A and B are shown apart, each in its own frame.
Chain A
Amino acid sequence: MFKISFFAVFSILALQWSTLSIAKGVYLEPELFIEQVFSNNPPKPDKVWITKKIKADVYKILGHDLGVIRLRYWNDDSKRAWILEEIGRDKPITVGLVTANGKIKQINVLIFRESRGWEVKYPFFTDQYKQASLVEGNQLDRNIDGISGATLSVNAMTKLARLALYLDAHVSKQ
């Protein structure tokens, strides 16, 4: 009985440790993400300038300035890819997004640096954003179900989805 209990406790502790050790890190190099999105033939990046109008809208979406005055993105005839960052709790989460026709086509967590909230990388969560578009006030057209203990990471992901769609719409108008 003691042996079984000891084994059970040890297994749980080992699982906890291994879960923490895989929680943060580089899940997919941004270079590989872009190559995958464009089938190993990525276009040269384009740039979008963050004008005063965009800056004000971005502030409303993120709750803070973007911190740069131009952003690069990758664009072919059918889709655009964005690599954006937002802080979850203390550190930035690097996210790759693909937009097409004003909708989210793909969203991947590329680099996660925090110790909690990494569950946002899983498809059961990211699939919620697929085909999401913007409605009035630059809000998503749907509610995103949160994850217990990962609220700030979820918020960061939603902000980046809104930002990518906003920038996509801006670039489309140009």
Chain B
Amino acid sequence: MFSIIHKWHKRFGVFVAVFVILLVISGIALNHSQQIKLNTNYIQAEWILDLYQINPSKEPLGFKTSDTWVSQVGERVYFNESEIAKGVNELIGSIFINEFYVVAFDGQLTLLTQAGEKVEHLTGVEGVPAGMKSIGYDEQDNIIIKAAHGFYQVNLDVLEWNEYDYLDANWITASPIPAQLKSNLLKQYRGSGLTIERVLLDLHSGRIVGSWGVYVVDLAAIIFLMLALTGVWMWWKRR
């Protein structure tokens, strides 16, 4: 009996050694995730990004304004190639007026300087109308917004939102993004979509290879338990 258990204890020990190494390294790293910035550093390896299918759910959308492009890739918005917002559902449009770029999305307006520096971010609390549908400008270079409940002529300096039943404007419409810019944006989007922490968590749980990976790690854990029990038992017998 003792020799059989001893033999299987050694065999299982060798079998699970690779799991021990994997779980120990990933576990220690995850314990210090914040300090070693695993939650703010992103995976760049294409094959891992492909494994996780890190791609925007819909075709990138772009608005050409003056000499710049404001684009939406997935839930992120970019000013040329700089990310200016994340968690965005719908980019409405962008205009250049009074020395500022005004980018409209999800009931919010972001103002940027010509260099792309963020001036401020306005939401409903500052008066941005709900249900924005379009942004444009009139003959006098006023910002015009078409929203769910009407049309608004906007003065962003003093935050005046004058409501009208109808206003005519030059409405901004989306344009096809140049191929090179689109390729760069997609690369940037993928390269900022998957943290090292996420991959380590999935590696630790086995989920990285799908749901069956979790059962493999479960099996390894049960073997750890058996090794501990048989190890103690053998030590007790030899004592």
Contacts and interface: CB of A to CB of B under 8 A. Distances in A.
Interface of A: 29-31, 33-34, 44-45, 47, 67-72, 83, 89-90, 152
Interface stretch (B53-61, B116-124, B164-172, B227-235): B116-124
Given A30-B125, A83-B125, A89-B34, A72 B159 contact: yes
Interface in B10-41: 34, 39
B179 interface: no
Nearest to A151: B34
A44 B120 contact: no
Contacts of A72: 120, 122, 126, 159
Given A31-B125, A34-B125, A83-B125, A70 B119 contact: yes
Contacts of B119: 68-70
Contacts of A47: 120
A89 B117 CA distance: 25
A71 B111 CA distance: 12
Nearest to A30: B125
B1 interface: no
B158 interface: yes
A96 to B, nearest CB: 9
Given A30-B125, A72-B126, 18 more contacts: A29-B125, A30-B123, A30-B124, A31-B125, A33-B125, A45-B159, A47-B120, A67-B118, A68-B120, A69-B113, A69-B118, A69-B119, A70-B119, A71-B120, A72-B122, A72-B159, A89-B34, A90-B39
Given A72-B159, A89-B34, A45 B121 contact: no
Interface of B: 34, 39, 113, 117-126, 158-159
Looking at chain A's contact residues, is the secondary structure mostly helix, strand, loop, or mixed?
mixed
Contacts of B39: 89-90
Contacts of A33: 125
Contacts of A71: 120
A68 B34 contact: no
Contacts of A89: 34, 39
A70 B120 contact: yes
B121 A44 contact: no
Q: 3 closest Cβ contacts across the A-B interface? A: A30-B125, A70-B120, A31-B125
A83 B34 CA distance: 27
Contacts of B118: 67-69
Contacts of B126: 45, 72
B200 to A, nearest CB: 15
A68 B100 CA distance: 13
Contacts of A70: 119-120
18 contacts: A29-B124, A29-B125, A30-B124, A31-B124, A44-B158, A45-B126, A47-B120, A68-B119, A69-B113, A69-B117, A69-B118, A69-B119, A72-B122, A72-B126, A83-B125, A89-B34, A89-B39, A152-B34
A72 B120 CA distance: 8
A45 B122 CA distance: 11
A72 B39 CA distance: 31
Nearest to B40: A90
B79 to A, nearest CB: 13
Nearest to A67: B118
B124 to A, nearest CB: 5
A44 B39 CA distance: 39
Contacts of B123: 30
Contacts of B125: 29-31, 33-34, 83
A68 B121 contact: yes
A44 B119 CA distance: 19
